[in-house]
Every structure is written in C-alpha cells, then in structure tokens.
Amino acid sequence: MMFELDSKLAADTFSIARLGLCDLRLMNDRRWPWLILVPQRPNICEIHEMTPLDQTMLTFEAGIAAQALKTVVDCEKINTAAIGNIVRQLHLHVIARNSGDPAWPGPVWGFGQREPYEEKEAKAFANAILKAI
C-alpha cells in the first residue's frame, strides 16, 4: 500500500519539503508559526505503531524542525504534539509559542478563527525554514 496524505492535512497545509521519513508541511494559520510532520507510512495512526527505526527518525526530524522553527522565529517555547483526534493519520505538530500570543498559555487548537497565509508569505516562510534546516 502506498502513502497518501490525508485530504484535511492537504487542504490545511502547504508543502515545505520531504525529509527522510516525513512530509514537512506548514499549517495555513499565520497566528502561530506551525509546522506539521507527516510520516510517509500508510495506515499509521499512532507513534507506537511505527517500527523502532521510524520512531527514531520521527524524533530526529521533529528535532530538526523544532530547531529550524526556533531559529526562524526566535520563539520562547516549542510545543510538540501528536493528537490525531480529528485527522487519524499520524502527524506531529511543532508550534512556536510566546507568552502573550493570542492563546497563551492554553493550546492553539480550537482558538479563534484561522488566519490564512497569503501564498507569497507562506512560500517565504517555507523557504526560511528550509534554509534553517
């Protein structure tokens, strides 16, 4: 079976790059610098369903994404989570947070209305992330 990106993830994100394991994506919400890592493995919903090597690669790539995000936006905190209550396909959120941001100190999920990027702005941010990686 081939890997196929969940349609909701495809609709809500911009592609940045394909890493060794993950499809690295930018969440289309400019309120928070927010990356999504999607392991390119079919029918995986949970981290524990992955092979030990894939789990290690996911951790490694999450670290790379988090460091790139911190470098680009100079945030106070990086939140990392794999929740999957709405989109079952395994994906990891890597979100830059600062005290005083609109949802601080609570979670970003379900807070207010999404503010989409303009395409040019999303491409510039994605390029900055790629350079930082």
What's residue 110's pLDDT? Answer: 87
- Please report how the helices 119-132 and 52-73 are oriented relative to each other, as an axis angle in degrees rounded to 10: 110
DSSP at 108: S
Strand blocks (E) in the chain:
13-18, 22-27, 34-39, 77-81, 92-97
Can you read off the two tokens belonging to residue 55? Answer: 């789990």
The C-alpha atoms of residue 43 and residue 4 are separated, in whole angstroms, by 9
Per-residue pLDDT at 82: 95
Rounded to whole angstroms, the Cα distance separating 123 from 85 reads 28
pLDDT-flagged residues of the chain (< 50): none
The token pair at 96 is 């830059």
Q: What is the pLDDT of residue 1?
A: 82
Here the tokens at position 54 are: 């894939």
What pLDDT does residue 84 have?
84
Q: What is the pLDDT of residues 37-59, one digit of tens each?
A: 999 999 999 999 999 999 999 99
Under a CB-based contact definition with an 8 Å cutoff, are residues 75 and 69 in contact?
yes
C-alpha–C-alpha distance, residues 133 and 41, integer Å: 22
Amino acid 45: pLDDT: 96
pLDDT at residue 104, rounded to an integer? 93
Q: Which domains does the chain have, with CATH numbers?
A: 7-102+109-132 (3.30.428.10)
Helix (H, G, I), strand (E, B), or coil: what is residue 10? helix
pLDDT for the residue 85: 87
